């Protein structure tokens, strides 16, 4: 096992939404492969303005497109909170047996912003 396998894969900023990019009540997603790529743990830090975040999981085959997969809200199970509405982060330090996750983003004002920072590890 190499050093990067032990330390994890630091993706860094995986999403940047500037104010005015999305309107009010916009729902969109960011997809993250987990067990499908042998990742079991993650940290997801976020800077939020006027956005609500939740995590959804799917164990559908990777041959199923993200938009066609069956998704279930797993936010409380993985983080202990139902949603995130202010800047902070989630540390999933219990093995996550979910093939892939998606971050569901719902804007609550037309002047919303969001940055997501991801690290995954085995």
Record the tokens describing residue 29, joined without a space.
């997603």
pTM: 0.89
Q: What fold characterizes domain 3-121? A: Jelly Rolls (2.60.120)
Alpha-carbon distance of 87 to 53, in angstroms, equals 10
SS3 of the chain: helix, strand, coil, percent, to 5: 15, 50, 40
Record the tokens describing residue 92, joined without a space.
């999933």
Measured CA angle at 39 (ends 37, 44), to 5 deg: 120
For the segment 69-90, what is each residue's pLDDT rounded down to a tens digit?
A: 999 999 999 999 999 999 999 9
Alpha-carbon distance of 13 to 115, in angstroms, equals 7
Alpha-carbon distance of 46 to 53, in angstroms, equals 9
For residue 106, is pLDDT > 70? yes
For the segment 21-40, what is each residue's pLDDT rounded down to a tens digit?
A: 888 999 999 999 999 999 99
């Amino acid at each position: 096992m190499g050093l990067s396998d032990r330390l994890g894969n630091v993706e860094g900023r995986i999403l940047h939404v500037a104010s005015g990019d999305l309107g009010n009540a916009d729902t969109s997603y960011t997809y993250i492969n987990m067990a499908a790529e042998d990742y079991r743990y993650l940290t997801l830090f976020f800077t939020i303005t006027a956005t609500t975040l939740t995590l959804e999981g799917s164990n559908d085959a990777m041959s199923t497109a993200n938009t066609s997969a069956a998704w279930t809200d797993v936010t409380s199970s993985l983080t202990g909170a139902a949603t995130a509405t202010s800047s902070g982060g989630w540390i999933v330090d219990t093995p996550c047996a979910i093939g892939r996750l998606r971050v569901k983003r719902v804007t609550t004002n037309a002047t919303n912003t969001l940055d997501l920072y991801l690290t995954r590890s085995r």
